[in-house]
Chain A
Amino acid sequence: MGEMQELTTFWFVTIAAVKVVAVFTVVMVVVAYMTLAERRVSASIQDRLGPNRVGPFGLLQPIADGIKNIIKEETMPGTAAKFYFVLGPALAIMPALVTIAVIPFAAPLPTPVGTVDMVVADVPIGVLYILALSSLAVYGVVLSGWASNNKYAFLGGLRASAQMISYEVALGLSLIAVLLLVGNVTLTEAVWRQQQLGLWFVFPLSLAFIFFLISALAETNRLPFDMPEAESELITGYHTEYSAMKFSMFFIAEYAHVVTASALLATLFLGGWDIPFWTGDDMYRHESGWIRGFDEAGAPIPATPSVLITLLTLAAFSVKTGFFLLLYIWIRWTLPRFRYDQVMHLGWKVLLPC
């Protein structure tokens, strides 16, 4: 009981590949249905129906949108810097899709070949990996704005770079309290610490949670901070000149960022895959095996990974992430857009201690 069977190299590589494909597929499906959810929820907020014709309840709408975007004609502005124009969407979508890799999404799964961590890559730098790669996301936006050779696109790109740099500072600072409580930067340890405390960090660190939520909204360029694509001033900002699949790649990137931000919020502040009021799911890799905690004498209590616990914790994680996804949509269709100087004022003078 609790003993850990290490994976052989062959199984480690095979399972890692399976996890990569599975997580990528799930993220892409969630992204596709986020677009539908956004339209349906916004419709319900505005007291109308939204897309409900393609399939039952409009459930096949994302597929129809995808096919439409793939078979549409791609336009290339005559004065664009062609190489960078094509590079832009690729640079935008890459960081958005790889950041989800370090987020643990369930309790470890026992398999005949050994116990498998339910995280694509449990890297030692955890949350810093997410911060580092999401800081690269700005290149896609800025380059496409510049390469389009269009003043609205260019202004959108410049605004994006200024905004993303400003809020990265607030984002990093709001994490400090969490990382101090955890004592490390890995997300598996963040989940474990919250299980041990029996308390989600959202309660003791509610101020950090609010700051992180606001900064994450700004980092993902979502309303009320969607300055880079403010329609009323910039047409649609940096992707004004893009069409067909390149256009939708920016949207896939944006929604993938939202999914990662929601999963990160759930992991850091709502206990990740922890099921509340139940210690049976607590599990952490300790020396030679999985433990549930320590008894009064400080001796480790062994834990038994099981398929049922993995499925339950996966469900708990999905519910928490889904809550934040819904919150993102809800905020977008409730709040008006800030003015650009207000966004900068908030980022530098309110969210930062001064």
Chain B
Amino acid sequence: MGVLNSILTALFDTVYAVLGLGPRWLSLTILSGVVGVIALIVVRFCSNQAAIGRVKDDIKANMLSLKLFKDELRVVLKAQARLVWAGLRMQYYMVPPLLVMFIPFVLVAAQMGLRYQWRPVETNEPTDLTVLLRPDVPDSALNWVLETPDGVEASPSGRGVRINADRKAVVWNLTGRKPGRHVLTLQNGTESVTKEFVVGRDQDRVSPMRPGPSLLDRILYPAERPFGSDSIIQSIAVTYPPRDSWFHGADWWVFWFLVLSIVIALLLKPVFGVKL
């Protein structure tokens, strides 16, 4: 999982090095188009196209009979039943390509989320850093000290504010004074871990969380190496502001990504000779 995420992150960083030169709506549209085309290819090779063709013919035939014999109740009912059956068969034939696409789609969406869901903090815009620890760790495990690079200020400096109540965590306020992809270092005794922090470069991808053992967190936040199950750290998170746009901003990008990839796939299906 970790290796796959590293490869994907590197790949997407390269892709966005080019796409990031243009406006964000364009990169979202291009990626949606590419995903739509890949989906078409997967459907072309992973589905029983002949069977889908037959189902489509059935659908056409039954639609025709509905139109021609609309006054004959028996024929209408029969055609409707066949249409329902054809629909179910169509869904059945789409299961293999959907299964093939599901995991890659989620991984791609997670990568895109790092670029469309959140934005880097602006210079001098305050945010917070939270180290969440396992609930069973001793109190001494809360004594983390944060070292900030040049261009990042933390408050309090050094040891963070410790939460030792309904959860165990250590929190700092962070303010980026210089734009850049900074590396924060956290130390507790001999243990030392890092977390990236992006300031001021609007086009950059962010990593809101360096995840722990949780599989869901590892899928959703793929940019940084996760902590192992033996680590006392459950996650290290930076709160990044959501991107604000009704097209390529927080939450909306997922909707438009799905809509655009489906629309583009439907438009291009004759080109690829795919039956859907």
B is a partner of A? no
- Using CB atoms and an 8 Å cutoff, list the residues of chain A in contact with chain B: none
